[in-house]
Structure 1
Amino acid sequence: MSSPPWDYIAKLVCIGDSGCGKSSLTIRLCEGRFSPQHDVTIGVEFGSRIVPVGPPHSKRSSTSSAADGGLPEPPRASPPQKHMKLSLWDTAGQETYKSVTRSYFRGASGALLVFDITRRSTFAHVTDWLNDLRAIADPDIVVILVGNKLDQAQPASEDENTTPSKREVTTQEATDWARTNGVLQYVETSAKSGENVEDAFMRVAERIFENINAGKYDLNDRRSGVKGPGPGGAKNVRLSADAGRGMTGGCC
């Protein structure tokens, strides 16, 4: 069975300390499920998802202005919906594999810098991860800071049976860090519930699409991290946001 068509393909890397839920976020996006137990990533794992980007393809019905007696407005042609295939590279967070995972930063057009909001130590290391990324990746790489495990950080209620919040990093300090370090923005997610997971990936995809339109990538150079369609590429694609899911394992 042939793969669904796409207009662009972009390489995204998920980076951060081990145990932050990078693999769970990737699985949630690519397969729409949560695995409570996942083996530690060794080297890198791969996933992909095709998502719509840019203005949606919509039909506008002509309308008449009865108040001013004007003629019906002629229908306006809408541009076809564009689709981007996100090639997701879920990297190992253990120090043992850092020399290996750094090599996968090359050619990435986007990155999700993930930490666990219930473990301050993982937030303390995001600066090191960002420095490593920027030392190797393209200067225009789109980076978003992701605080995962939001399901464990909800405020405790008055109910005695409610598990107290495990949050160790506040939303404000993470937002301030993202602003200070020139990161696109900060998003809190839960791979378990799926909250904001698609939003995090889509914000990166949309900014990459904006950069494509601004001519920041050479679509014929795979080192740019973004590729355009091949000969006779996809046109007028109609594809749901759920299509093109898949995940495979990989190793160093």
Structure 2
Amino acid sequence: MASLSWDYVLKFVIIGDASTGKSSILVRLTDQRFLQNPDPTVGVEFGSKLIHIPDQNKTIKVQCWDTAGTEAFRSITRSYYRGAAGALLVFDVTSRPSFTNARSWLADVREHADPNLTCVLLANKIDLCEKDESRRQVTREEAELWAKEAGLLFLEASAKTGKNVEEAFDQAARDILQKIQQGIFDDNRSHGVKSSNRTNQQNSMQLEGAEAKSRGCCT
């Protein structure tokens, strides 16, 4: 049972345009597999993962809400941003518009999530560029520069190969842990950060059981 315990539960949202690979990133994180042809997300999908931070001897449970990337669901998915401590802002390196639109997604999540949100700009589908560099529409340097200006962490990743998917959550979790240690996040006031106790862990497992039954529902 020790393997099922954790020190903190952190709420994450995965945001960005449709078809950038958000659902594939969630499945890669939670199931270590690749969705070749995922169905479009209707509302939200839910998943969780335990991440161990060995140098701090902490185990973090990340609870991830994968949100639909279409405008039709924008008002619904905003409600899931509330209190989120972490976000993965995903764009497709072979799609310039998905990078351009990342700015509006960032403004949206910063308006509705925890004001101390840690956000990772994730350049997905890097495997396509490794096969054919001509497919790249956003350079690493440009994305890194914007991430730095916007106060974001940055990684290039591939949901298909798994490259840097877990690393993205690991870096975000470490950044949030540092904020907890600095007193920036308070688990008595922050909806997206909860410290471990038996009641919280029981509630968390009950929540996941309910979400597993309603996965894909937009209510």
Q: Same fold (TM over 0.5)?
A: yes
Structure of higher RCO (CA pairs closer than 8 Å, 6+ residues apart): 1
CA distance in 2, matches of 1:47, 1:224: 18
* The one of 153, 162, 171 aligned to 2:140: 171
1:230 shift after superposition: 1.8
Q: Which amino acid aligns with 2:29?
A: L
The SS at the match of 1:153 is helix
CA distance in 2, matches of 1:139, 1:232: 26
1:204 shift after superposition: 0.5
Gaps of 5+ in 2: 202-210
CA distance in 2, matches of 1:175, 1:202: 18
- For the aligned residue pairs, the C-alpha RMSD in angstroms reads 2.1
CA distance in 2, matches of 1:45, 1:143: 19
Q: Which amino acid aligns with 1:104?
A: Y
After TM superposition, the structure 1 = structure 2 runs for residues 2-41 of structure 1, keeping only pairs within 5 Å, are 4-41=4-41
Asked if residue 182 in structure 1 is aligned to residue 151 in structure 2, the reply is yes
CA distance in 2, matches of 1:83, 1:134: 26
The SS at the match of 2:158 is coil
Q: Is the 8 A contact 2:185 2:193 kept in 1?
A: yes
1:93 shift after superposition: 0.3
With normalisation by structure 2, the TM-score equals 0.88
CA distance in 1, matches of 2:143, 2:194: 32
CA distance in 2, matches of 1:233, 1:124: 39
Q: Is the 8 A contact 1:145 1:178 kept in 2?
A: yes
CA distance in 1, matches of 2:78, 2:103: 15
Deviations 1:198-219 (A, max 9, x none): 1111110111111111122221
Q: Which amino acid aligns with 2:50?
A: I
Q: Match for residue 68 of structure 1?
A: none
Please identify the structure whose Cα radius of gyration is greater: 1
Q: Is the 8 A contact 2:13 2:87 kept in 1?
A: yes
What is the count of residue pairs matched by the alignment?
A: 207
With normalisation by structure 1, the TM-score equals 0.77
- Percent identity, aligned pairs only, is 45
CA distance in 2, matches of 1:231, 1:190: 36
> Which structure features the higher share of helix residues?
2
Q: 1:191 to 1:180 in 2, by over 3 A?
A: same
The SS at the match of 2:135 is coil
CA distance in 2, matches of 1:211, 1:54: 18
CA distance in 2, matches of 1:42, 1:155: 31
